[in-house]
Amino acid sequence: MPGISTICFAASYTVALLLELARLRLSGRALRWLAMGFVGVGLIAQTLFLGHRAAVAPTAPLSSAYDWYLVAAWLLAAVDLYLTAFHPQVPHGIFVLPLVLALIGAAQLADHKPFPRSPAAQVWGSIHGTFWLLGAVAVMVGFVAGLMYLVQAYRLKQKLPAGSGLRLPSLEWLQRVNGRAIVVSVLMTGIGILSGLVLNLVNHHRDQQDELPWSDPVVWRSGGMFAWLLAAALFGAVYKPARLGRKVAYLTVASFVFLVIFLAVQLLDTGEHGSKGRGEQGAAKPQATREAEQ
Amino acid sequence: MQLQLVGCSHHNSTLDLRERLAFNPTQAAVALDRWRERFPAAEAVLLSTCNRIEVYAAWDVGAAGPSHRQVAEFLAGFHGVELPDIFDRLFEQSGEAAVRHLFTVAASLDSLVVGEPQILAQVKQAYQLAQERHSAGPLTHEMFQAALRCARRVARETSLYEKRVSIPSVAIGEFASQIFDRFDDKRVLVIGAGEMGQETLRFLQDAGAREVTVVNRGGARAAELAERFGGRAAPWEELDSLLVAADLVVSTTGSAEPIVTRERFARIEPQRYQRPLLILDLAVPRDFEAAVGDCLGVYLYSLDNLEAAAQRNRRERDRQLPAAEAIVAEETARFMEQMHHRATGPVIQRLRERWETLGDEELRRLFGKLPDLDESSRDAIRQAFDRYAKKMLHPPLEQIRDESRAGHPHGLIEALKRLFHLND
CB-based contact B328:B100 (threshold 8 Å): yes
CB-based contact B4:B68 (threshold 8 Å): yes
pLDDT averaged over chain B? 88
Give the pLDDT confidence of B249-296 residue by residue, as tens digits.
999 987 888 999 999 999 999 999 888 999 999 988 899 999 999 998
Q: B68 with B197, same domain?
A: no
In this complex, do A162 and B177 lie within 8 Å of one another by their Cβ atoms? no
Q: What angle do CA A156, A160, A162 make, to 5 degrees?
A: 90
Residue B238 lies in a domain: yes
Q: A153 with A164, same domain?
A: yes
pLDDT of residue A288: 43
How near does any CA of chain A get to the CA of B297, in Å?
Answer: 6
- How many other CB atoms sit within 10 Å of the CB of residue A110? 20
pLDDT of residue A226: 87
Instruction: Give the residue from A244, A246, A250 with the most B CB atoms within 10 Å of its CB, the best one to mutate.
Output: A244
In this complex, do A162 and B174 lie within 8 Å of one another by their Cβ atoms? yes
- Is the Cβ of B201 closer than 8 Å to some Cβ of chain A? no
Q: B356 with B411, same domain?
A: yes
CB-based contact A223:A200 (threshold 8 Å): no
Q: A36 with A156, same domain?
A: no
Q: Which of A156, A176, A240 sits opposite B273 (nearest CB)?
A: A240
- Is the Cβ of A246 closer than 8 Å to some Cβ of chain B? yes
pTM of this structure: 0.67
Measure the CA–CA gap between B254 and B235, rounded to whole angstroms.
Answer: 17
How near does any CA of chain A get to the CA of B175, in Å?
Answer: 8
Contacts of A203 (CB under 8 A, 6+ apart): A118, A121, A210, A211, A212
For chain A, percent helix, then strand, then coil, each to nearest 5? 75, 0, 25
Of A114, A133, A160, the last residue of a domain is: A114
Q: In what order do the strands lie in the sheet with B2-9?
A: B43-48, B52-59, B2-9, B91-94
Number of domains in chain B: 3
Contacts of A205 (CB under 8 A, 6+ apart): none
Closest CA to B396 of B344, B329, B332, B334: B344
Residue B204 lies in a domain: yes
Of B121, B139, B162, the last residue of a domain is: B162
Q: Residue B162's pLDDT band (boundaries 50, 70, 90)?
A: confident
Measure the CA–CA gap between B213 and B226, rounded to whole angstroms.
Answer: 7
Residue A157: its chain B contacts at CB < 8 A? 293, 299
Contacts 24+ apart (CB under 8 A), A212-215: A212/A272, A212/A273, A212/A284, A213/A272, A213/A290
Q: A186 with A104, same domain?
A: no
pLDDT exceeding 70 applies to what percent of chain B? 98
Q: B288 with B408, same domain?
A: no
Window B:272-291, CB contacts with A under 8 Å = 273-276
Number of domains in chain A: 2
CA terminus-to-terminus distance, chain A: 42
pLDDT of residue A275: 46
Residue B320 lies in a domain: no
Q: A235 with A189, same domain?
A: yes
- Considering B8, B50, B150, B295, which one is annotated as catalytic? B50
Distance from CA of residue A100 to its chain's centroid?
Answer: 9
Instruction: Give the residue from B182, B185, B273, B301 with the most A CB atoms within 10 Å of its CB, the best one to mutate.
Output: B273
CB-based contact B246:A213 (threshold 8 Å): no
Q: Which of B177, B305, B312 sits opposite A170 (nearest CB)?
A: B177
In this complex, do B180 and A157 lie within 8 Å of one another by their Cβ atoms? no
The radius of gyration computed from the CA coordinates of chain B, to the nearest angstrom, equals 31
Q: Coil, strand or helix: which one is B250?
A: strand
Domain of residue B131, residue span: 2-162
Q: B203 with B174, same domain?
A: yes
Of A88, A114, A140, the last residue of a domain is: A114
pLDDT of residue A280: 40
Residue B91 lies in a domain: yes
- Is the Cβ of A241 closer than 8 Å to some Cβ of chain B? yes
B8 is catalytic: no
Closest CA to A13 of A110, A130, A92, A108: A92
Q: Which helix (H) or strand (E) holds B86?
A: helix B83-87
Query: CB-hemisphere CA count at 13 Å for B18?
Result: 17
Give the pLDDT confidence of A9-55 residue by residue, as tens digits.
999 999 999 999 988 877 667 888 899 999 999 999 999 998 888 87
- Is the Cβ of A180 closer than 8 Å to some Cβ of chain B? no
Is the pLDDT score of A95 beyond 70?
yes
Q: Residue A281's pLDDT band (boundaries 50, 70, 90)?
A: very low
Residue B322 lies in a domain: no
Residue A165: its chain B contacts at CB < 8 A? none
- How many other CB atoms sit within 10 Å of the CB of residue A224? 13
Is the pLDDT score of A271 beyond 60?
no
Q: B104 with B174, same domain?
A: no
Q: A95 with A129, same domain?
A: no
Q: B186 with B228, same domain?
A: yes
- B269: nearest CA in chain A? A241
Complex ipTM: 0.71
Q: Residue A270's pLDDT band (boundaries 50, 70, 90)?
A: low
Domain of residue A133, residue span: 116-294
Residue A171: its chain B contacts at CB < 8 A? 178-180, 276
Q: B9 with B151, same domain?
A: yes
Query: Helices (H) and strands (E) in chain A — how many of each?
Result: 9, 0
Q: B60 with B92, same domain?
A: yes
Is the pLDDT score of B382 beyond 80?
yes
Residue A162: its chain B contacts at CB < 8 A? 174, 178
Q: A92 with A124, same domain?
A: no
What CATH code is carried by the domain that includes residue B147?
A: 3.30.460.30
- Is the Cβ of A27 closer than 8 Å to some Cβ of chain B? yes
In this complex, do B274 and A162 lie within 8 Å of one another by their Cβ atoms? no
Q: Which helix (H) or strand (E) holds B280?
A: strand B277-281
Q: B8 with B141, same domain?
A: yes
pLDDT of residue A5: 87
CB-based contact A101:A46 (threshold 8 Å): no
- Is the Cβ of A152 closer than 8 Å to some Cβ of chain B? yes
Q: Residue A278's pLDDT band (boundaries 50, 70, 90)?
A: very low
Q: B13 with B148, same domain?
A: yes
Q: What is the DSSP string of B159-225?
A: -TTT---SHHHHIIIIIIHHH-S-STT-EEEEES--HHHHHHHHHHHHTT--EEEEE-SSHHHHHHH
pLDDT exceeding 90 applies to what percent of chain B? 48
CB-based contact B400:B343 (threshold 8 Å): no
Q: A80 with A151, same domain?
A: no
Q: A80 with A121, same domain?
A: no
Of A99-108, A239-248, B188-197, B223-232, give the lowest mean pLDDT range.
Answer: A239-248
Q: Residue B36's pLDDT band (boundaries 50, 70, 90)?
A: very high
Of B295, B310, B325, the last residue of a domain is: B310
Q: Which of A27, A156, A247 sits opposite B299 (nearest CB)?
A: A156
Q: A138 with A279, same domain?
A: yes
**Which is higher by pLDDT, A269 or B103?**
B103
Residue B230 lies in a domain: yes
In this complex, do B274 and A241 lie within 8 Å of one another by their Cβ atoms? yes
Contacts of B230 (CB under 8 A, 6+ apart): B205, B210, B212
Mean pLDDT of A93-105: 93
- B293: nearest CA in chain A? A157
Residue B97 lies in a domain: yes
Of B162, B191, B211, the last residue of a domain is: B162
Q: Residue A294's pLDDT band (boundaries 50, 70, 90)?
A: very low
Q: Which of B180, B273, B312 sits opposite A170 (nearest CB)?
A: B180
- Is the Cβ of A29 closer than 8 Å to some Cβ of chain B? no
Residue B317 lies in a domain: no
Window B:298-337, CB contacts with A under 8 Å = 299, 301, 305, 309, 312, 316
Q: Which of A161, A173, A245 sits opposite B296 (nearest CB)?
A: A245
